[in-house]
A and B are shown apart, each in its own frame.
Chain A
Amino acid sequence: MQKRYIIPIVYILFLMLPIYWLIAMSFKTTGEILSGFSLFPQTWTFDNYRVIFTDPTWYWGYFNSIAYVTLNTVISIAVALPAAYAFSRYRFLGDKQLFFWLLTNRMAPAAVFALPFFQLYSAVGLFDTYLAVALAHALFNVPLAVWILEGFMSGVPKELDETAYVDGYSFPRFFFKIFLPNIKAGVGVAAFFCFMFSWVELLLAKTLTAVYAKPIAATMTKTASSAGYELGLLAAAGVLTIIPGAIVIWFVRNYIAKGFAMGRV
């Protein structure tokens, strides 16, 4: 083993420590947590997890989060695909300006949009629905998806398009049968990013929901403040929010480095 590997090893240990602590806490009883410091759970308990899996206010939070995240990913990719194709293949009036304007939305502080979004989505009758959160998250996910897909599409030679037209393919048939399979890694990575930023965002998701579409993260903050300080329960809920991300990331592991570079290496 080479000496320089010590750097990534130490770094990964540093990353895992707080996660380990969260997992350890989730298996402790409230009594043990409050009675003092212990490195490992002294008496293992699954009560924290049992509460989450049996109480509908808890497990519905997970369904809600997954529902709006999925909806957001589908919407973002669906609208970003044609736009990214246009940016990667054609020059048109105002293309550069439009691209930068899209990116500026990625820069918008969510705090700025919280209140206007609340009023806008209440006015159109979407408040407290999955669609509201999915559309709101599209504000920053669509520009990102366009950016990533454009990077991957520009890596596909233009001759492919031309050959297909010469062979008599119509545009939709070319796009779905030939072009999409060529950039499927890019689509996967873009979907992964949409999932990621929608899954981790809380401020807008919380502002736009009350009961029926409330995300799991909001359930957690409510528990932290109302039911005293149930650290074990909070930790267990936290552990469960890490799992979907871990599963999704495993699927894109071979493309992740290229994906983070937006297909631009």
Chain B
Amino acid sequence: MKTVNQKAWFFVLPVMLLVAFNALIPIMTVVNYSVQETFGNNLFFWEGLGWFEKLLNSPRFYSALGRQFFFTFSILAIEVPLGIMIALAMPKKGFWVPVCLVTMALPMLIPWNVVGAMWNIFTLPDIGLLGYFLNSVLGISYDMTQDPVAAWATIIIMDVWHWTSLVVLLSYAGLVSIPDAYYQAAKIDGASNWAVFRFIQLPKMKNVLTIAILLRFMDSFNIYTEPFVLTGGGPGNSTTLLSIDLVKIALGQFDLGPAAAMSLIYFAITLLVSWVFYTLMTKDD
């Protein structure tokens, strides 16, 4: 049991101060901008909730939000089952375990813009490995700078390449914590592979899968650099995700008011969905 000790606050004080400096001041700046209009020269006018109203009535916002949800749920639907499958097939001990783990973790340690640039080089239709293979060897017309479907397929595959290993590593950590005795007992009972998965492996992976899905949701919902470097949001606006649109408005057009209003709604949605995930998945504990 944990003891009640209010002095513990002194231990968390440094974290509190650091995060408060980093989180509260910028958030207050954003709130401040979101209710004002500016015409430059540091002149601000009270706007009230006008920006929020405009944003919530703008088709542009909803289409970016729709694309964002489509992206996030697509990659979750691919990465989670695929990650579990790979983790189940991996060796449990021996020389190859660290080799697998290190090579699989490698994509996650590459700077995000390098990931984008790398996939750009990889998919160039005439001189990229994948682009050349699809176009010239298989005869499939593929050019993600022209074709929205190809652009979408590419950013989704890029994310699968980049982050499936996170699910693999987490599931694997859950799997190796299962004692051998469980499997032996299942064998004696004549349990099928499916039964072993459903009643032994899946329950053991539940906690780590919760972490995996939460992290993947948060990070994919906030994704910016990789798709921005790869497609720049194009062709047209077809892959303009929420954060790409936000940076366009905030730093490109310098429309501080609308950008701030959008930031707050964006953050609120991330928080809300994460919280729903979090409570749904930890409900049983």
Contact = CB atoms under 8 A, between A and B. Distances in A.
Contacts of B102: 246, 249-250, 253, 256
B66 interface: no
Interface string B1-27: 011111111011011101101110111
A199 B111 contact: yes
A212 B77 CA distance: 43
Contact of B127 (A36, A106, A138, A265): A36
A120 B25 contact: yes
A175 to B, nearest CB: 10
Interface string B101-124: 111111111111110011101100
A216 B113 CA distance: 10
B173 interface: yes
A167 to B, nearest CB: 19
Q: Could you tell me the dominant secondary structure of chain B's interface residues?
A: helix
Given A8-B90, A90-B5, A200-B111, A18 B26 contact: no
Nearest to A109: B222
Interface in A78-104: 78-80, 82-83, 85-87, 89-93, 95, 98, 102, 104
Contacts of B11: 82-83, 85-86
Per DSSP, are chain A's interface residues mostly helix, strand or loop, or mixed?
Answer: helix
A79 B18 contact: yes
B132 A241 contact: no
B247 to A, nearest CB: 5
A98 B16 CA distance: 9
25 contacts: A7-B85, A8-B91, A12-B104, A15-B103, A15-B165, A17-B130, A18-B161, A22-B118, A86-B12, A89-B2, A89-B8, A90-B2, A91-B8, A105-B22, A111-B222, A115-B256, A135-B21, A200-B109, A217-B113, A242-B110, A245-B106, A245-B109, A258-B173, A260-B166, A260-B208
Interface of A: 4-8, 11-12, 14-22, 25, 33-34, 36-37, 39, 75, 78-80, 82-83, 85-87, 89-93, 95, 98, 102, 104-117, 119-120, 135-136, 138-139, 142-143, 146, 196, 199-203, 207, 216-217, 220-221, 224, 231, 234-235, 238, 241-242, 244-246, 248-250, 253-254, 256-258, 260-262, 264-265
Interface of B: 2-9, 11-12, 14-16, 18-19, 21-23, 25-27, 29-30, 85-86, 88-91, 98, 100-114, 117-119, 121-122, 126-130, 132, 136, 161, 164-166, 168-170, 172-174, 176-177, 207-208, 211, 218, 221-222, 224-225, 229, 242-243, 246-247, 250-251, 256, 259, 263, 266-267, 270-271, 274
Which 6 pairs of residues, A with B, have the shortest CB-CB distance?
A245-B109, A116-B26, A86-B11, A261-B173, A90-B8, A86-B8
